């Protein structure tokens, strides 16, 4: 037993795991990256969090906060001690229907909050497709959004107050009017007002970098909002007061068919005037069977809400009449809507395999492998069609393929691309493409991240978006909150290179003799392992039911 492990076991009431299994389970998230931690602690409460920080600071060991592990940019992995909030600090502490607020711990899964709010006619606005396993702490750390952000905004729009422990053990309650701000932060902002007022692109999905513009006086110097999207680099969240929204009593879903994704993208921004709840887009490449969808090569999923089914349907039909579509379908039956939404929510998994392609050896079967890394760019919605055309040209120039989908109404595009991340030439092409795409996004007035965060995947490229002076301001901000660089180092500021720590490097390159044939992967066990992309859909807290849970987590 190391001194670090011994000191942690003495200091905390929660579990401490330095065994191989505990470390392996937190080595990766849903990204392309892999870091092996020294150990994992499941804190019992905020006192445990403070104790872990004190011990790790004395040993010079970094700390990474982790929720469901669904992060797609590598920010839930680290080489020090990982704090797993899903074991104990996963409770809903209260729901206040009158004030429309809830008090939550960081490890609470979003669906549990939605279930508790529903009897009061309320819900939490943001709803990522991983809502069944992502946690509120992770959503705050990433400033997550989801399909309903055109109506209810980002997680930052839904946060009221945050309880945070700093790397040096201070307990802060963050809020508006500089509440909880660390020493020096107000002075930093006061000295950079002009830069903060002009240095951030104006668009609904701008998650990249620190949200320092939330600290402007005209934004009520909202320290809690500024903390959202900081990816665990400024402090460790222990409790949050979040705002809830009134859930529509009835909904209708209009599925609009277009010739291709470009036509769908061009149409999306024009639908916002009808105040829909969602404007989601996807193309036929991601649909195993289009039988349940209207005629077309791409679709917009446009949801409306009202007090009655008839009114919701009328609003949806009004949108259909106003939209220039090939075909359309309006569904008010809840079961039918869920079936259609499942097609959209499964897109992130479907997008990991495409027929044909270049990233797998001939005869391997199962289609090309596609990976994240550039799955989260956002541009102003009116520019989405033009951006997608340029994006397709850039893909073609590099001999790459990918199928965009996502939050078309907000200009936020998800896509997995068939990068070759197994060979040196393929990794070099990954870097070249990343640099060129960053420049393309900036040219369209966009953000490198629209909801998944920067992490390791994009932080290296932040100077291309913000310039060196703004990135230096991010570094000064980090130093005020975390002067010892203890919290999630290598993310957002002074980042690790985007092509380092790739998780595929440790997989065996030669065939492994196993009992099963894996015909869909050409008998290649390593390729079968790579099918796990970390979206955590197989992780559950129930013992039985229709779902199948990953045996590693079940154990």
* pLDDT tens-digit series, residues 273-320: 999 999 999 988 887 665 688 999 999 999 999 999 999 999 999 999
Q: Which of 171-180, 366-375, 431-440 has the lowest mean pLDDT?
A: 366-375
- 309 near 353, Cβ under 8 Å? no
Q: Delimit the domains of the chain by residue range.
A: 253-337, 353-503
Q: pLDDT-derived band of residue 370, with 50, 70 and 90 as boundaries? A: confident
Closest CA to 43 of 10, 21, 13: 13
pLDDT above 70 for 537: no
Quote the CA–CA distance of 122 and 457 in Å, as a whole number: 35
Fold annotation for 353-503: Alpha-Beta Plaits (3.30.70)
For all residues of the chain together, what is the average pLDDT?
Answer: 89
Residue 555 confidence class, pLDDT cut points 50, 70, 90: very low
Residue 358 has pLDDT above 50, yes or no: no
Mean pLDDT of 180-206: 95
253-337 and 353-503: same fold? yes
Q: Rounded to whole angstroms, what are the CA distances from 57 to 164, 166, 396, 475, 482?
A: 17, 11, 48, 20, 11
pLDDT at 350: 55
* pLDDT tens-digit map of 340-355: 888 877 765 555 555 5
Q: Which residues pair with 406 in a beta bridge?
A: 281, 413
The residue-averaged pLDDT of 7-28 equals 95
Predicted TM-score (pTM) of the model is: 0.90
415 pLDDT exceeds 80?
Answer: yes
Q: What percent of the chain stands above pLDDT 70?
A: 86
Q: Give 59-90 pLDDT, tens digit per residue.
A: 999 999 999 999 898 999 999 999 999 999 99
Q: Bridge-partner residues for 123, per DSSP?
A: 245
Distance in angstroms (rounded) separating the CA atoms of residues 429 and 416: 15
> Does domain 253-337 match CATH 3.30.70.2190?
yes
3-state secondary structure 291-318: HHCCCCCEEEEEEEEECCHHHHHHHHHH
C-alpha of 454 from chain center: 10
pLDDT band, very low/low/confident/very high, at 522 (cuts 50, 70, 90): low
pLDDT above 80 (res 153)? yes
pLDDT for res 554:
45
User: How do residues 469-489 score in pLDDT, each as one tens digit?
Assistant: 999 999 999 999 999 999 999
In this prediction, residue 363 carries a pLDDT of: 36
């Amino acid at each position: 037993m190391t001194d670090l492990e011994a000191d942690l076991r003495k200091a905390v009431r929660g579990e401490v795991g330095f065994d191989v299994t505990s470390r392996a389970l937190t080595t990766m998230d849903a990204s392309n990256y892999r870091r092996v931690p020294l150990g994992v602690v499941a804190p019992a409460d905020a006192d445990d969090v403070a104790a872990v920080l004190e011990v790790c600071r004395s040993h010079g060991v970094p700390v990474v906060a982790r929720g469901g592990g669904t992060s797609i940019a590598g920010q839930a992995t680290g080489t020090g001690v990982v704090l797993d909030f899903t074991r104990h600090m996963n409770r809903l502490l209260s729901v206040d229907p009158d004030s429309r607020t809830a008090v939550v711990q960081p490890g609470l899964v979003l669906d549990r909050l939605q279930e508790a709010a529903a009897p009061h006619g309320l819900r939490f606005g943001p709803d990522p497709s991983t809502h069944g396993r992502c946690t509120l702490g992770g959503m705050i750390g990433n400033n997550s959004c989801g399909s309903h952000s055109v109506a209810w905004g980002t997680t930052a729009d839904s946060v009221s107050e945050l309880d945070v422990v700093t790397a040096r053990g201070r307990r802060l309650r963050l809020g508006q009017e500089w509440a909880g701000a660390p020493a020096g932060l107000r002075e930093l902002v006061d000295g950079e007002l002009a830069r903060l007022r002009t240095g951030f692109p104006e668009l609904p999905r701008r998650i990249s970098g620190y949200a320092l513009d939330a600290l402007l006086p005209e934004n009520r110097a909202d320290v809690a909002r500024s903390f959202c999207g900081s990816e665990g680099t400024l402090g460790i969240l222990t409790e949050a007061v979040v705002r809830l929204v009134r859930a529509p009593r009835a909904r209708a879903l209009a599925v609009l068919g277009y010739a291709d994704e470009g036509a769908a993208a061009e149409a999306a921004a024009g639908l916002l005037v009808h105040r829909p709840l969602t404007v989601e887009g996807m193309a036929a490449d991601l649909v195993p069977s289009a039988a349940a969808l209207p005629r077309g090569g791409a679709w917009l999923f446009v949801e409306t809400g009202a007090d009655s089914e008839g009114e919701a349907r009328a609003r949806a039909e009004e949108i259909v009449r106003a939209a220039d579509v090939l075909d359309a379908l309006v569904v008010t039956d809840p079961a039918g809507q869920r079936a259609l939404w499942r097609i959209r929510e499964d897109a992130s998994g479907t997008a990991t395999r495409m027929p044909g392609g270049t990233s797998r050896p001939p005869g391997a079967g199962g289609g090309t492998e596609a990976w994240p890394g550039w799955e989260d760019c956002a541009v102003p919605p009116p520019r989405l069609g033009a951006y997608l055309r340029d994006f397709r040209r850039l893909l073609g120039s590099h001999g790459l393929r990918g199928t965009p989908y996502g939050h078309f109404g907000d200009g936020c595009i998800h896509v997995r691309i068939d990068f070759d991340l197994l060979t040196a030439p393929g990794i070099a092409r990954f870097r070249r493409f990343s640099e060129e795409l960053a420049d393309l996004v900036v040219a369209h007035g966009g953000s490198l991240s629209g909801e998944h965060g920067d992490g390791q995947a994009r932080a290296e490229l932040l100077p291309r978006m913000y310039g060196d002076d703004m990135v230096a301001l991010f570094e000064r901000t980090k130093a005020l909150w975390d002067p010892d660089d203890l919290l999630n180092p290598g993310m957002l500021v002074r980042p690790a290179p985007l092509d380092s720590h790739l998780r595929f490097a440790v997989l065996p390159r030669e065939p492994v003799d196993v009992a099963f044939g894996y015909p869909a992967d050409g008998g290649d066990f390593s390729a079968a392992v790579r099918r796990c992309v970390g979206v955590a859909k197989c992780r559950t807290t129930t013992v039985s039911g229709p779902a199948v849970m990953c045996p590693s987590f079940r154990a």
